[in-house]
Amino acid sequence: MQAKFSANTDGRLPLYAKLRDQLGSRIANGEWKPGDMIPSENRLAEEYGVALATMRMALKQLVDEGLLDRRRGTGTFVKQPAFRADLFRFFHVHDVEDPDVPVIPESRILSHQEVALPADVKQAFGEESVSHCIKLERVRLWSGDPLLFEEIYLRLPDFNGLMSLNPKAMGPLLYPVFLEEFGILISSATDELSFGTATKASAKHLELATGAPVAAIQRIARNPAGRVIEFRRVHGRPERFRYRVTLGDQPA
């Protein structure tokens, strides 16, 4: 049976990008778990009714983003994260048409530079001797639409060498990069959600007016010893955010 694209697939996207979103969603919703070998290129191309070259482009994008791992002579596998599953994604992003289906949004690193430590980041790091850090600006998208604009601050000298990495090769999951390239494991994080207004930068990348309402998230991430490794400020389009909490006993 031929697979169908979800109802919210953006018709403006090239076919390989639509396929990337669909395959990424199948990883996110647990159909293919970390360590699993996914079906062959030929089988997937037949399942979706697309040319083999198009499927190869979609799979290559997922490999480049760090979600899949090609093993010569064996197959293509879902990459095994070496950290807690609930840190695998920043927040839980779900398909608008099907809220029960989690997705892994596309990521684009817009800039990375060494900067003087802002006061709130310095307070979070808790070390007076730290004066500079690396700042990443990143936008997260689903089906081509912007969801989140992130400002990510990373400790120095912990991340010496990050500036020499190709931003396009980092993919949507930064924590595997931290572990594989720098030996830094993120084991816990505190996320704080509030509401604010879009800055000039976040408005530009979220396609909003400056001063428009946004969901504002602050993350402080730590290593197993409790040392703060990352401080993250995020603005998100408010219509894409939902808060859900369940209280009391649940039926068996």
Q: What is the pLDDT of residues 176-215, one digit of tens each?
A: 888 888 878 787 888 898 999 999 999 999 999 999 999 9
Judgement on whether residues 70 and 167 belong to the same structural domain of the protein: no
Cβ-based neighbour number of residue 158 at 10 Å: 19
Judgement on whether residues 143 and 212 belong to the same structural domain of the protein: yes
Judgement on whether residues 231 and 195 belong to the same structural domain of the protein: yes
DSSP 8-state secondary structure symbol assigned to residue 244: -
Looking at the 3D structure of the chain, how many domains does it have?
2
Judgement on whether residues 152 and 210 belong to the same structural domain of the protein: yes
**Is residue 105 domain-resident?**
yes
Judgement on whether residues 213 and 152 belong to the same structural domain of the protein: yes
Range of the domain at 39: 15-78
Judgement on whether residues 170 and 63 belong to the same structural domain of the protein: no
Cis ω before 157 (30° cut-off from 0) = yes
Q: How far is CA 168 from CA 123, 165, 172, 173, in A?
A: 30, 9, 10, 12
Judgement on whether residues 194 and 72 belong to the same structural domain of the protein: no
Q: What is the pLDDT along the chain (252 residues), one digit of tens a residue?
A: 556 555 445 556 789 888 988 888 788 777 888 889 999 999 999 999 999 999 999 999 888 777 788 998 889 998 865 445 454 444 555 555 555 655 677 889 999 999 999 999 999 998 777 889 999 999 998 878 898 999 999 998 889 899 999 888 787 788 888 888 887 878 788 889 899 999 999 999 999 999 999 999 999 998 867 889 999 999 999 887 766 656 655 554
Judgement on whether residues 60 and 150 belong to the same structural domain of the protein: no
Judgement on whether residues 221 and 98 belong to the same structural domain of the protein: yes
Q: Are 139 and 205 in contact (CB under 8 A)?
A: yes
